[in-house]
Structure 1
């Protein structure tokens, strides 16, 4: 006796339809991260960190740094960074054998930029920060026998290299004011040459006396 396969086939088809229907059932609210129509975001929620970003942008700008009285006793160096005059105060750290720190400023500016790093023998490697938090530059240089130091200052990504050349400051030496006019040359102490006679050509008189 041959049994009909119609019944099992129908049962299998119903099972498949039921499975597909389950796949098309609506997702629970909020499971996809998308709010349903008319639904509001819960109070205090921060979608994609937007609130945190807004708060950071709303923070007041960092104030420029002013000279630190603790660095006033440090050795002073004067010289140039690129084509600008600067003064740097750089001294040893008390908690690190090779550590150094201090500050520098451009001529005519009341604000300073902090520096900190290491000196290994005659090699100087320091980082700078204009707000005390973010690194704004790197310095690499060499000390000479006379105490001067020269090298390059670069941006944090080691680009935009600028040469620097600093030497120990003489006591009482200060940076020149920005835009200061040059002093006129000192008057010469040599006597002025006598004026040539009138009607002279090329320094020789063209007047003939007697023939």
Structure 2
């Protein structure tokens, strides 16, 4: 009987220890997870609503805008000095004058140039320091599309190089003051060459014998 009671007590103690261990394990499962593993960004670290962290919304808005139209000649530049010459292998006309206004830089110049045969213009703006000309160009009025660096000569002509914004693809330019009334030459159009005549289907006439006079042989046949 004593052994039976001791065995019962041991079994009860074992059952109690197992129950306590199970409860401890369950309590561990219900404990809060570490902050780093929750995957939830605290409210004070979140971006405000409507924020465009990567500029995606701005890019979408810009793509949705209608394409910009080519620039047309500015009537205000019609009174500027005109220069006619070449840019690379293209004929161009440039109107370039001093900037005016209370805040204008005394060395500032601006204007536009036009390639022969094109209805649109490209804006230019920059500085003239003595005989040195440095201007930037823009074909839409917003983005820089080229840089010009040149020197003025005593006769008023200016020559130098036009480059892309990264100073690559240099092209020479040579401009001279335009004579009053002179404009860009019209775009030359090569006249089509006449097509060669089709070969005749008629048999060729026999050629006259050598030493013939007036188409008649001067050889005398003996009697």
Give the alignment's TM-score, normalised by structure 1: 0.67
Alignment-derived partner of residue 97 in structure 2? 91
Please say if 1:29 is aligned against 2:40: yes
| Structure 1 alignment gaps of length 5 or more | 1-17, 33-41, 183-198, 200-211
Give per-residue Cα distances to partners, 1:30-88, cap 9 Å, x unaligned: 449xxxxxxxxx98565743222211111111111000111000000000000000000
1:151 paired residue among 150, 155, 160: 160
Higher helix share: 2
Alignment-derived partner of residue 119 in structure 1? 128
Cα distance, 1:161 vs. partner? 0.3
Please say if 1:176 is aligned against 2:182: no
Please say if 1:62 is aligned against 2:68: yes
Alignment-derived partner of residue 5 in structure 1? none
| Structure 2 alignment gaps of length 5 or more | 1-27, 192-209, 211-223
Aligned mates of 2:125, 2:146 — CA distance in 1: 11
Aligned mates of 2:51, 2:108 — CA distance in 1: 45
1:107 paired residue among 88, 110, 116: 116
Q: For residues 175 and 54 of structure 1, do their structure 2 counterparts lie closer, same or farther at Cα, with a shift above 3 Å needed? A: same
Cα distance, 1:149 vs. partner? 0.3
- How big is the alpha-carbon RMSD for the aligned residues of Structure 1 and Structure 2? 3.1
Alignment-derived partner of residue 10 in structure 1? none
Give the alignment's TM-score, normalised by structure 2: 0.63
1:72 paired residue among 53, 75, 78: 78
Please say if 1:135 is aligned against 2:148: no
Deviates more, 1:147-156 or 1:55-64: 55-64
Cα distance, 1:167 vs. partner? 0.2
Aligned mates of 2:78, 2:72 — CA distance in 1: 12
Larger radius of gyration between Structure 1 and Structure 2: 2
Aligned residues: 160
Which secondary structure state, in structure 2, belongs to the residue aligned with residue 146 of structure 1?
coil
